[in-house]
Amino acid sequence: MASDATPKEAPAVATAAAAAAAVKKPKLHGRAFYESIGSPKYIVAPMVDQSEFAWRMLSRSFLPESQQSNILAYSPMFHARLFGESQKYRDQHFQPTKPDSDDLFLDGNPAIDRPFFVQFCANDPQALLNAAKLVTPHCDAIDLNLGCPQGIAKKGHYGSFLQEDQELIHRLIKTLHENLDIPVTAKIRLLDTKEASLKYAQNVLSAGASILAVHGRRREQKGHLTGLADWQMIRYLRDNLPPETVLFANGNILQYEDVEKCLAATGADAVMSAEGNLSNPGIFAAPPPAGQAPRGYWRGKDGKGGWRVDEVLRRYLDILHKHVLGAAPPQRRPLFVPGDDDTAWIAQEIILPDQADHDGSKPKKRRTDVAKENPALLAANFVGVQPHLFHLLRHFVSRHHDVRNALARTRLGDMDMYEAMCSLVEKKVAEGLLEYERTDGKSVSTTTAAEQEGEGEEEDDPESSARVVRECRRPWWVVQPIIRPLPKEAMAKGAIQLSKKERKRVAAEMEGKEEKKNAKRSKEVAGPAAETAAATASLEKTTSYPSSELVSG
């Protein structure tokens, strides 16, 4: 990233270079390294095209400025070979300096984006080292992805599909450990047994990893088979690895309260969130005390609360304006709360740009067309906007289909459209809040009729997500987790298509469970303790992970 700076720009370049040199630290390892970056307790997980700079900034923004360094954020997963070989790939995914300049810009900027780890997937030690050397001046550590379970990882032979080749994993980590001036870390998934998982973790650490992040699921647990993360297995690793090992726990983080539960259950040093963070970037911020909540935080008559979608959307767009585009965000009225005098704007019609220009008849531009017109729009911070908004507004658009349709038509980098959508969202939130007050909260039902009918039946059923759905549900104007059905529920709904062999096995298991259930109803054969032990043994045999109050994350 050479500089063609003019004499006028030279002082700024020198300042940037001096700043970069000032933050360079001696290479530390393990817990000493972790403490040197502030021992962050909250971790924004590495996510493909979803943990880019703007999203990391948004996630940190919900903590007071003095506490924002307590969030460690990972880059999205980068493909090491492509990153090392392609300038175009680097320009689209990583922007530590401004174009054609050495001035510090976004990714890893010491003033706004630290602590920060860059994650790569790789299966070639030299290609991994080449890529890592390009980013070491702009991050605190390099992370090796050993957890991706997707088909593309299988095809490319990386992520969790390296776990059968422990020798290669060792060489990948050792190559970085011995040749970089910053630490290397790794993120793994569990293997089938606790003994195999422990041996795997020991191999990663012996190769030189300073931090081990553990996703508490196995490779096959994805999509509708995601199921529960195994916190007990992470605890087993914690108890059997050297005490100085820095361990991050990942999985089952749906809301803020789950963070402390996870720390207590696993003994981990920090908690990492992926899906929970995508649904609510403020997941690591403690709810404000009653009576002290800002306008952007809603608390209902039942005491439950959360960040409003219009507040989160405003923050996100402001970050894009200010940091990515280098422009002042638009002037915004204070977020509406019931009791405000100014309500006339709520009745005004909002015309989206595509409606005004062509009634939505013009087809959405393809990415290749956008690239020809303005290649800068293919950068990660713009590419991630639409998927992020679908996550944030998932519950909102299930009610307001016009917003969903508008979001589907948005064009890459069209900030005017995003701003118009933000105004539309604010209007609908205001209407929802007013209706909530008019009906004394009855306009929002926290429990569906089906849940009321079956309430109590699933309380002791570790294969039901009904209780978690009820506990996490908020009105549609509040960001909230997207909860997957557990495997049993997904299968009952036809979302999982099993092979003939699997169907036969599951049918036999279900038949056995039904017989036990009938026997229990007809007579009490054993005491409560024996029944609990039998149920637990059955669950572990069929799923190999224990029950939990949580579902996904």
Q: Mind telling me the catalytic residues?
A: 148
User: For residue 550, how many other CB atoms are within 10 A of its CB?
Assistant: 24
The answer to whether 48 and 91 are in contact (CB under 8 A) is: no
**Crossing angle, helix 125-135 and helix 166-179, to 10 degrees?**
40
The residue type at 229 = A
Token digits for 476?
């549609």
Residue among 54, 20, 22 nearest 313 (CA): 54
In angstroms, the CA 117 to CA 139 distance is: 6
* Runs of H (alpha helix) within 61-179: 80-85, 87-93, 125-135, 151-156, 166-179
| Strand duo 305-307 + 297-299: pairing | antiparallel
How far lies 151's CA from each of 139, 166, 502, in Å?
29, 20, 20
The secondary element (H helix, E strand) that includes residue 292 is none
Contacts 24+ apart (CB under 8 A), 356-365: 360/409, 364/409, 364/410, 364/411, 365/411, 365/412
| CA-closest candidate to residue 30, choices 215, 206, 249, 281 | 206
- Per-residue HEC secondary structure of 520-542 comes to HHHCCCCCHHHHHHHHHHHHHHH
Short-list 206, 167, 203, 178, CA closest to 188: 203
- Residue 111 · residue 96 · CB < 8 Å: no
Q: Which of 88, 173, 181 is nearest to 139 (CA)?
A: 181
Q: What gap in Å lies between CA 276 and CA 58, rounded to an integer?
A: 14
* Cross-strand partners of 145: 187
Q: What is the DSSP letter of 224?
A: G
**Whole-angstrom distance, CA of residue 297 vs CA of residue 301:** 13
Q: What are 179's two structure tokens?
A: 């040749």
In contact, 112 and 57? CB cutoff 8 Å: yes
